[in-house]
Structure 1
């Protein structure tokens, strides 16, 4: 399974949250022997099982996923670290005569893997504290206007109501005097030893995707996501500003446990936040060149994926 460049293909199973990526990846593992590498910024953390929709113990027994449960939630994990880990795993699998398949919904991880990691300053507590004060005093819209002045490209890409990415872009600028965009433009990408074979699983109907998202969040509530976050929140080294606790679902439950709203509002906010995540994922995916899209409403997902994989390089 080689590309015209002579490099081997590595399938990417991509798609918005709740689209059915895990089921397809497990099917491809069982049918064709692919070895799975998770591409998910929440599943890397131990103890974050329900809210990340981590594969169950039975699913992991059937099809082990690498890069799951590799960090404590108190320890941040970056996209650059993911790139290094993923490339190392891909090479190790090849050395054993195995074929890797990457599966997940963290689009930044996929992008950094393919394009390379920019040289970025680390987090700065003082700058982040000031940015948090700015949010409280001036609001997110004012910070987004500030970003538009210093980095219009990033401002176009980052939603005004996305505090995590917004503050990171401004943090980089305040620390270096250079925009986030300029750092990415200066990145030193290492040539990939493979060609991606991107396969996107996504319902054609947005209404169906929204229905699946609501059903998944309700299931998380039933399975005990509140108790899961309670256990994390009880640990003194874990706080709300950690990247792990800013993950969709976890952030909303943390705020609920802080008494900021009731359970019905938690459910509403969790579903809305997950829909917004899916919208951002789809924005990334639509920019992905040469991706093969599979609509589970219109076709057999497994059969379509098998056709794509078997036809690659022929």
Structure 2
């Protein structure tokens, strides 16, 4: 009887030690690490997005890190297609270790992802311009007119998700919810899956976040932001919203001092980690929890 292929899923908030744990497991099991973080997929920002260093990637096989140009808007569907291709190219005897903080990536791995046609950039831009002066209630009211189901699911008028829903409806004539509710299948059916969420103590995580951004600022993050700005790409692209890009950019422009840039980026990271923890708590409640890797 052939044994089932082993897969390890390591999710958790930023700075919780996911990459370090993945590297240890990959070395122990001769596994391949596959990125499940929506920001670490992009090039240009290795330090800012806390991608594994070159020394770390030399110690184990890493896939889908820094493989997408910053000028591209890379969707969850595209990530899932890239993962499928990587899985087909890796020796099936080797364990696959998915690691990252993007909950939707893990959800799509397990449950599939709606096959939504690509939305023209001009449609997305038109929607962004239409909602930019609306408050949260007005945005939700607009979405209810075109996709009441998605509006109810959102509850909070997150601009990015709301823009996506409206743009899909206008570009395809179908609601986002109708695509999402279509039958789907994940990529891991029949696999031997080990799931875990790193869920460190809040005080420990706050300390690690503060220390990490201080190290980033002096460890190459500033040069990366300069290089990103030199590309002169659309500020609405996902990579431009990476935490640290705006804060370091404001420092480079003389809008704020170094310490203030670090403080603001640290606060933004805390807020992001809180959102991640909430997402994992709600969607992955049955996944085993563990503290900081190596702590």
The answer, yes or no, to whether TM exceeds 0.5 is: yes
**Alpha-carbon deviations, 1:42-74, whole Å to 9, x = none?**
222222111110111111111231111212111
Kindly report structure 1 stretches of 4+ aligned residues shifted beyond 4 Å. Answer: 152-159, 254-265
| SS of equivalent residue, structure 1 residue 200 | strand
Query: Unmatched 5+ residue regions in structure 2?
Result: none
Aligned partners of 2:251 and 2:155: how far apart in 1?
A: 26
- Whether the 8 Å contact between 1:93 and 1:99 is mirrored in structure 2 is no
- Whether the 8 Å contact between 2:31 and 2:61 is mirrored in structure 1 is no
Match of 1:138 in 2: 134
Structure 1 residues 155-234: aligned runs within 5 Å? 156-157=153-154, 159-160=156-157, 162-189=158-185, 192-193=188-189, 194-203=191-200, 205-234=201-230
2:30 paired with 1:50? no
Q: Per-residue deviation at 1:248?
A: 2.8
Q: Per-residue deviation at 1:182?
A: 2.6
Match of 1:281 in 2: 276
| SS of equivalent residue, structure 1 residue 196 | strand
Matched length: 291
2:95 paired with 1:99? yes
**Alpha-carbon deviations, 1:159-205, whole Å to 9, x = none?**
44x432232223223434544333211153256342432111121x2
When the two structures are superposed, what TM-score results if normalisation uses the length of structure 2? 0.85
Q: Which residue, out of 76, 80, 84, partners 2:81?
A: 84
* Shift in CA distance, 185/152, structure 1 to aligned 2, threshold 3 Å: closer
Moved more, 177-186 or 149-158: 149-158
Moved more, 193-202 or 63-72: 193-202
Q: Report the aligned-residue RMSD.
A: 2.8
2:70 paired with 1:73? yes
| SS of equivalent residue, structure 2 residue 90 | helix
Match of 2:36 in 1: 39
- Whether the 8 Å contact between 1:119 and 1:183 is mirrored in structure 2 is yes
Aligned partners of 2:107 and 2:253: how far apart in 1?
A: 35
When the two structures are superposed, what TM-score results if normalisation uses the length of structure 1? 0.80
Match of 2:118 in 1: 122
Aligned partners of 2:255 and 2:75: how far apart in 1?
A: 29
* Shift in CA distance, 80/172, structure 1 to aligned 2, threshold 3 Å: same
* Shift in CA distance, 103/122, structure 1 to aligned 2, threshold 3 Å: same
* Shift in CA distance, 191/235, structure 1 to aligned 2, threshold 3 Å: closer
Match of 1:311 in 2: none
* Shift in CA distance, 168/261, structure 1 to aligned 2, threshold 3 Å: farther
| SS of equivalent residue, structure 1 residue 36 | strand
* Shift in CA distance, 42/294, structure 1 to aligned 2, threshold 3 Å: same
